Amino acid sequence: MHEGVHMHQPEHMTIAQVAELLGESRWTTLRRVRSGQLSAVQHGGGTNPYLVARRDAEALATELAEAAS
């Protein structure tokens, strides 16, 4: 693969994936969803009932990084 070429990224992320991106626990990320700080859609039950748009997760990661600096 050439440098600078990215593999296709899924449009949505699970709570666990977003938590990893943000460097926090799944519970903290889930609290962000439940409080409305992070938008998510419910896609069923089970252990991963929410999906977060990748652009929203990345925007929050940027916002948190800027707030920390």
Q: Is residue 17 part of a domain?
A: yes
Token pair of 61 as six digits: 């990661």
Q: Is residue 57 part of a domain?
A: yes
> Has residue 18 got a pLDDT over 70?
yes
Q: Is residue 27 part of a domain?
A: yes
Identity of the highest mean pLDDT range in 38-42, 58-62, 65-69: 58-62
Q: Higher pLDDT residue, 2 or 36?
A: 36
Domain tally, the chain = 1
- Which CATH number is 42's domain given? 1.10.1660.10
Quick check: helix, strand or coil at residue 49? coil
Q: Is residue 7 part of a domain?
A: no
Give the DSSP H or E segment for 54.
helix 54-68
What percent of the chain has a predicted confidence (pLDDT) above 70? Answer: 86
* Whether pTM exceeds 0.85: no
Q: Which residues span the domain enclosing 53?
A: 12-68
Q: Is 35 exposed, middle or buried (0-12, 13-18, 19+ CB in 10 A)?
A: exposed
The per-residue pLDDT for 47 is 67
* Backbone torsion region of residue 46, taken as left when φ is above 0, otherwise alpha when ψ lies between -120 and 50, otherwise beta: left
